[in-house]
Structure 1
Amino acid sequence: MTSRIKELAEAIACKGISIRTTNHAEVSHDTAKLGRLWQKFYQNYAGQLPEGEDIYGVYHNYESDDLVGAFDVVASWKTASEKNDQSDSERTASISNVVEVTIPAGKYLVFSEEGHVPNTVMNAWESAWEYFNAPDCEHTRTFAVDFEHYIDGNLEYGQVDLYIGIK
């Protein structure tokens, strides 16, 4: 695992499907929603995206911190910079329940993992939690927006960068 600070110069507009959950709910198979969200995304949406399209898992609307509060997760793709991009409009015209979310410009601590998904994602989150729960942690989380960036849209094997918003 590697980590580095990255200043995101521009916001990233995304569209995708969303759920609301808690970390406590994700511990149990019976109450976990994230796996089903990504399965639905992979089965119903990923195939409609251009090959190599970057995929984003956006965490936002935090109720409090990572221990007790609920939050929204959007399995998404980056939308075109022009609002009326025809291909994106055509792609989402037949998709119901699509939401829009914006990843804001700002300062992030990035944890990178490479390997088989979802292990890479779980490892990145574990590294982040370990880092931020350490007594000598140098940074403070904003709990505004965090996101996973699946490089080249590979949801099976590849690099995942986990961006944690920091002050």
Structure 2
Amino acid sequence: MKLSIVKSIRTNNFNDEHVMQKITGMWKEASERLPKHESIYGVYHDYQSDYKGDYTLSISVEDSNGESFIEIPSNDPYRIFKVDTTEQGIYNTWNSIWEQEKAGILKRAYSFDFEKYYPNGEIEIYIAIK
């Protein structure tokens, strides 16, 4: 899958005290340029190590007119997590993912993970697995 990058940041969930401000600011800044009736992706890539290390988060769309792209290999296996639509849904789902990883239930590949935001409001998180 080839996605056009709208905006990217580099951050860390545990060592960057401004992580939430950076992420929400990036989404707010990019929102003007995002399509209204297409899926939007939050792609996590360029992992330094595991979920505690630095990573890049890119807001992306299925549009081939952008100047920079992310190419997500189509043959990578993924575990898909449906996100509930409550205000804390994404946060709660990521916490569940991290807990499953800590418990040894989820073996992550740390290649490309992504949140897929559907036009109908549904959200899924795709986690690359080994």
Give the TM-score normalised by the residue count of structure 1: 0.68
Secondary structure of 1:24's counterpart equals: coil
Matches of 1:36 and 1:52 in 2, distance apart?
Answer: 22
Q: In the alignment, is the contact (CA less than 8 A) between 1:17 and 1:99 conserved in 2? A: no
Matches of 1:32 and 1:13 in 2, distance apart?
Answer: 24
Runs of 4+ in 1 over 3 A off after TM superposition: 28-32
Partner of 1:86: none
Larger of the two Rg values belongs to structure: 1
Compared CA separation, residues 134 and 73, structure 1 to 2 (3 A)? same
Partner of 2:95: 126
Partner of 2:49: 64
Matches of 1:35 and 1:134 in 2, distance apart?
Answer: 29
Question: Equivalent of 1:45, from 33, 52, 73?
Answer: 33
Question: Equivalent of 1:14, from 4, 23, 27?
Answer: 4
Deviation readout 1:11-53 (Å, 9 max, x if unpaired): 2433221000011145x347741111111111x312xx2x321
Give the CA RMSD over aligned residues: 2.2
Deviation readout 1:44-73 (Å, 9 max, x if unpaired): 312xx2x32100000000011111x21110
Secondary structure of 2:28's counterpart equals: helix
Any stretches of 5+ residues in structure 2 without a counterpart?
A: none
Give the TM-score normalised by the residue count of structure 2: 0.86
Deviation readout 1:100-137 (Å, 9 max, x if unpaired): 212221101111113145x22212211111111114x1
